[in-house]
Chain A
Amino acid sequence: MFEIRDLTKHFRIGGTPLGGGHIVRAVDGVSFCVAEGETFALVGESGCGKTTIAKMVLMLERPTGGSILFEGQDLATMSGAQRKQYRRQVQTVFQDPYASLNPRLRVRTIIAEPIRAHSRPGAAALRRRVEQVLDVVGLPASAADLFPHEFSGGQRQRIAIARALALEPRCIVLDEPISALDVSIRAQILNLLADIQERFRLTYLIIAHDLALVEHFSTRVGVMYLGNMAETGPTEQVFSQPQHPYTQALLASVPRPDPDHKAPLDAIRGEIGSAVAPPPGCKFHPRCPRAFARCSAEVPAWRTLAADRAAACHLLETAA
């Protein structure tokens, strides 16, 4: 469905319109594909560029380089009509339902807004559609006449999901859809998202930092580090046999709800580098427990390891 090729996004900070300042390499040559009906997860620490990719997929940011193909069509070369059609098919749910819903609008208006932007439905049809999607997300029709502040966090996220569903999209970009919610509410929303996906055959692109969630929820995963893809593959394989030292370290670092689990102490050192002046060679090498001379000199190539699995690490070449 999506093919992302060598996608790059650089931001300039400081300087003047004529130049100067620093370049932030938020996304620095990332490639991956998302197949129809699957849930592709982008994971990584803050600042790794996962949200920037989501914004480019949603056409909220324009790539500096590379391309995003939607069913073979480059987003950058779409005509106005095609673009409108694309936006109809690709919707989004943001992280914080306290910020993503306009507090001055009634739920009915919030959900109807995308429908109105794309067509001119009659009042009765619009009402029906709003009540229909509210029902899908488990809210009563009476919710339509209330304002967002009259709902709890979990219910607000349901409203945000209803809005995303209003146009019968084929793909939804989920940017940390549960991390702003209470622990006891999260499972409700995750189960709802899973049900909706099955019912409407949706494709999900989910951005998350919670690895347990990603393992549970996604079918394929891309692990990002400082603007680059470190490893991609089917979630089950990546989580059971991580190949890249960063994926390994990340998985080892997750605190587990198990008092007998001992976290390894030497898995990872230091903190994520700067995207303004990334380390030379492999960007992960200053923190990598297995780094050797070549890692600081040469950028590791993106290597296909097996069907549908790839990683960028020098160690994997010597192993092969």
Chain B
Amino acid sequence: MAATEASPPQPLLRIDNLRTHLFLKRGVVHAVDGVNLHVDAGETLGLVGESGSGKSMTSLSILRLLPKHSGRIVEGQVWLDGTDLTTLSEEEMARDWRGRRVSMVSQDPMTSLNPVFSVGDQVGAPFRYHRLARGARAVREAAVKVLRRVRIPSPETRLDDYPHQFSGGMRQRVVAAMAIACAPKLLIADEPTSNLDVTIQVQMIELFRELQRDSNLGMILITHDLGVAASICRRVAVMYAGRIVEVGDVRTIYRAPAHPYTQALLASIPHLGQKRRRLQAIAGQPPSLIDPPVGCRFAARCPRRSARCATEYPPEIELASGHKVACWHPGPAS
């Protein structure tokens, strides 16, 4: 277990040895299995991985929004701003933290907005709930202001419109407005651009950059798209089968990755402008998290595996300042 210090940790968010399990009928899914990471104020950390790698479960653990009966944090701490969120009661979490100091933008604006309430109602909700604006007029004004920040054209006239009257890109802006309404310190964006067309995607990426610049917001961007991560993140953490296999500065991760999985992932996607005859496919598929392998989870698919990889999980080693990798055979791609 990682050290539990009494003094408040330095970074805005620090996750220590987080383990989140899902207790299902078919078994216990080790969705998040010993994750350590930190996010500083004003920086964007990219959490990159395939579906099922545990990136969304990590974010839901931070927000304490795990599936009610099956999901549970079994170990570890989530320090935000000096407080361990895992020790708070649900009441405290809802009153002072969720939506207030940490908020989230999820993938699909069609499901995160309620179709039967007007956009003004929904954007006003965080102000009402957290009592940041009193009276209908003040709430309306606050909503207009925050919609203007996410660049919804003429927000005054659009408050009474319903979500279906907005386009996909505009809906995602509305969701972003709700997330930043209470000026949180940490924003978790879970695949915020995955359902959008590329031309809308650039506009959203630009919006997130702006929001961050203006308010010193710490951000976790969850994505499976290596292109999106490269365009906004300062640091990137690569997740595989419930664990972080490599973390580092964005340039290090893209230019000199040391973990074979990161390398394989980058080699397996087509890069615009660099036509190759054949993509380097990664053989096999990710392991089941109900009964994860004891050793390195990537071992079965790894070109560099040795006997040790199958029996012992590699410790995280720091190759350079801030560049950490969990691998028995780290190094440049062969």
Residues of A whose CB lies within 8 Å of any CB of B are: 45-46, 152, 154, 182-188, 190-191, 194, 209, 211-213, 215-217, 236, 239, 249-251, 253-261, 263, 265, 267-268, 271-272, 287
Contacts and interface: CB of A to CB of B under 8 A. Distances in A.
B270 A216 contact: yes
Given A255-B201, A268-B199, A271-B200, A183 B270 contact: no
A209 B230 CA distance: 20
B205 interface: yes
A24 B168 CA distance: 18
B268 A187 contact: yes
A187 B286 CA distance: 14
A152 B254 CA distance: 28
Contacts of B283: 188
Interface stretch (B55-63, B137-145, B211-219, B273-281): B273-281
A183 B254 contact: no
Nearest to B298: A184
B43 to A, nearest CB: 14
Q: Which of B168, B229, B285 gathers most chain A CB within 10 Å?
A: B285
A281 B228 CA distance: 34
A188 B282 contact: yes
B224 A212 contact: no
Contact of B272 (A154, A191, A254): A254
Contact of B169 (A186, A239, A250, A271): A271
B323 to A, nearest CB: 14
B140 to A, nearest CB: 26
A217 B275 CA distance: 9
Q: B interface, how many residues as a size bin?
A: 35 or more
Given A191-B281, A215-B275, A268 B202 contact: yes
A5 to B, nearest CB: 28
Interface in B140-184: 167-170
A47 to B, nearest CB: 9
A188 B281 contact: yes
B169 A184 contact: no
Nearest to A246: B199
Given A212-B272, A257-B271, 15 more contacts: A183-B224, A184-B268, A186-B269, A194-B278, A209-B197, A211-B198, A212-B227, A216-B275, A239-B273, A253-B201, A257-B269, A261-B231, A267-B199, A271-B170, A272-B199
B55 to A, nearest CB: 12
B226 interface: yes
A239 B275 CA distance: 11
A259 B169 CA distance: 24
21 contacts: A45-B198, A45-B199, A152-B285, A154-B285, A183-B226, A183-B265, A184-B50, A185-B282, A187-B279, A191-B279, A194-B278, A254-B198, A254-B272, A257-B230, A258-B254, A259-B231, A260-B251, A265-B202, A271-B167, A272-B199, A287-B199
Given A45-B197, A261-B231, A271-B200, A255 B205 contact: yes
Contact of B280 (A187, A236, A250): A187
Contact of A191 (B227, B254, B278): B278
B268 A183 contact: yes
A154 B169 CA distance: 30
A39 to B, nearest CB: 13
A236 B275 CA distance: 9
B206 interface: yes
Contacts of B251: 259-260
Contacts of B93: none
